[in-house]
Amino acid sequence: MTETTGTWEDPGRHEDAYRPAPARERTFAALPPVSGGAFARTWWGLAWLKALADSALDGRQVKQGRRHARAGAVGAVSVRPGRITAVVQDRDGTRHRCDVLLQELDGADWDRFLDLVADRAGHIAALLDHDMPPHLVEDAAAAGIELLPGIGDLEAECGCGAWDHCAHTAALCHQVARLLDEDPFVLLLMRGRGERELLEDLQARTASRAREAAEECAPSGQAAEPVEADGIPAAEAYAARDILPPLPAPPPYVDEPGAAPALGGGTDPAPGVEVAALEFLISDTAARAQRLLADALSPGHADTPPQAPLTCAQDAVRLAAAGPEPRIAARLAAGSGRTAKGLALAVRAWEYGGAPALAVLEEEWTPEPAALARATAQLAAWDEDEPPPRLRHDRNRWTVIGADAQLRYGRDGRWWPYRKERGQWTPAGPAAEDPAAALAALRGGTEDSAASP
């Protein structure tokens, strides 16, 4: 994906007339054809397509537009405040200029939006990472700022003469969904602010708040002293590397965990202590230590966030997944408050995806409105080559009507396939980002099970 940028500039706005002006238009080169699968991956890209589907009066035009976009019929896309523009070519070679309009935010809206972003470091980090987390959109909506379009917000203009969304404007919207997947700042530009302009304003607000906080903390009548950062400049640290004492060498890599000792010696264990269980735990500890050491010595370990510690109930499932002897498995089940059957089901979930898969098995929860909107948008974006299934919704679970199949929505936004076996819903595969892919894997598993002897 390539892009060119246009700028505007008011020489009287800055003391330095040669300072680059904020970008108010971005032009993206035509994207190549794409085949199969959902057209958008991110939740905000799917929400954009849902706004198109809700705004268009003729669903057939939306489907035809999706086919145009898949075929690569959309030319370069120009994005500027309030408008996106492209030329779309029909199959007969006829070209049409089409525009889609979206209402810009006014100055007061932008002030409120920038204030709420500056209030939370997580919002700033997300924008710098070109991410649009749901809680940012939720906070904006709570402040009366609608970042994502809704029903009727996408207005269409096309040279073909259609007064509503036609196949050409629908194709443009589908192409923009691909651009939004890569960079949510495209949406913010449509709402009126370019990336650099927004980040510069945000940086100025953050610095101003830091100065105000320092002044509030200063004694009455005294000017606040500048806040000095801890540590020393990186240049000084690198310059002194030759005179600092060397760090110890990292420990060597261990190919295999050490063998567990055989406990015994002729002395009977204390009441309640089972030797086989202790030997099992010692072997597990050695294996975990070997894996932790391998992770610590692997490239990029310093940039990998640590995993959340397991609860006792989760760790019991992890241990049971190693296949201990039945008596130890029974103790794990009792210690974690599960039956033997319940522990076996939990192990099955664990093998498909660890702690997140176990949570999907054992937790029922109701998605918040933003999460529910993302899930609904994904289900609505089912590929046109295959009719969507009829689903019955209950909290975070969507059951296929007339089939022993179910999709469960995880807190991380992924979809988990479930199959009813002997009257009980059972994990049937790993998670997928797309509900259609999760259900397809479930159907494939059913066919494989039917074909196996």
What pLDDT, in 10s, does the model give residues 378-401?
A: 888 876 566 788 999 999 999 999
**The residue to which tokens 């030759």 are assigned:** 242
pLDDT, position 444: 60
pLDDT above 70 (res 18): no
The pLDDT value recorded for residue 361 is: 95
Say which DSSP state 14 is in.
Answer: S
The pLDDT of residue 243 is 56
Contact 96, 88 (CB under 8 A): yes
How is the chain split into domains, by residue range? 3-208, 275-284+309-362, 369-451
Residue 17, pLDDT score = 35
84/76 Cα distance (integer angstroms): 10
Residues 41 and 23: their CA atoms lie apart, in Å, by 27
In whole angstroms, what is the distance from residue 64 CA to residue 170 CA? 8
Average pLDDT over every residue of 7-17: 36
pLDDT tens-digit map of 219-250: 555 555 554 545 556 665 555 555 555 666 77
**CA-to-CA dists, residue 321 to 127, 251, 310, 341, 355, angstroms:** 40, 29, 14, 13, 12
Across the chain, mean pLDDT equals 82
The pLDDT-based confidence of 132 (bands split at 50, 70, 90) is confident
Q: What is the pTM of this model?
A: 0.47
Residue range 424-441: mean pLDDT, rounded:
90
Residue 246: the pLDDT is 63
pLDDT tens, 302-321?
778 878 889 999 999 999 99
Q: How confident is the model at residue 347, as a pLDDT?
A: 96
Q: Do the beta carbons of residue 343 and residue 320 sit within 8 Å?
A: yes
